[in-house]
Amino acid sequence: MEKQTQLYEGKAKKVFATDDPRRVIVSYKDDATAFNGEKKGTIAGKGAINNVMSNHLFRLLEQQGVRTHFIEQLSDRETVVEKVAIVPLEVIVRNVAAGSFAKRYGVEEGTAFAAPTIEFSYKNDALGDPLINTYHALALGLATQAELETIKRTAFRVNEVLCAYFDTLNVRLVDFKLEFGRTADGTIVLADEISPDTCRLWDKTTGEKLDKDRFRRNMGGVEQAYQEILSRVMGQ
């Protein structure tokens, strides 16, 4: 497959056209941002870790009946994916109070929920990715009612699979962000990535944070935490 013109560059990835109009190549970067881009930095090796881990988890989800955009990993940093139009929603599934949820609602971080919860943000950097509900999403024309139902159902299924999986690695899946895309025929599929950038992952024994919160909160040991979670995921 031939890599062609760069189509897009985001905070963490570049997307390139290929000689197949139905497929693109995603290239992962080491750049790190937080707080809607207000904090910027670099996490050495992050691009390779996020690429390899995301692809491993996409394969796992595909085996469990969740359709994703993943096609083939080309290298440590580059992957072929199905070309999709991203639905401009960030879908956040939470199992434990942490981060903005704990702050927003005055809940102690680490408080487990009786059942998983879900929230949507409007994917719009200029507006600061504001929280919205499904009625807002419909009013803004971001997705149809049927698409929103598919997204919610799939997000909770992803949570079931990943919670069980990370439990076997002695890791608690606290919360995570998903993005979805529409294929050429309009099918909603899981897209973007699943990585320490997009998940909160705590060691179940020690409570140690093995994710991007170490970067956000200037905790140090960021590269080591990313490498540790990759080692567990890949069974190394």
pLDDT band for position 150 (cuts 50, 70, 90): very high
Can you tell me the distance from the alpha carbon of 60 to that of 151, in angstroms, rounded to the nearest whole number? 18
Fold of 3-82: Phosphorylase Kinase; domain 1 (3.30.200)
Regarding the domain with residue range 85-221, which homologous superfamily does it belong to in the CATH classification? ATP-grasp fold, B domain (3.30.470.20)
For CA atoms 88, 94, 100, 103, give the dihedral sign: positive
> For the segment 114-136, what is each residue's pLDDT rounded down to a tens digit?
999 999 999 998 999 999 999 99
Q: What is the pLDDT of residues 57-108, one digit of tens each?
A: 999 999 999 999 999 999 999 999 999 999 999 999 999 999 999 999 999 9
Could you tell me if 92 and 177 are in contact, meaning their C-beta atoms sit under 8 angstroms apart? yes
In degrees rounded to 5, what are phi and psi of residue 216? -55, -40
Domains 3-82 and 85-221 share a fold: no
Question: pLDDT tens digits for 57-67?
Answer: 999 999 999 99
End-to-end CA distance of the chain: 30
Residue ranges per domain, the chain? Answer: 3-82, 85-221
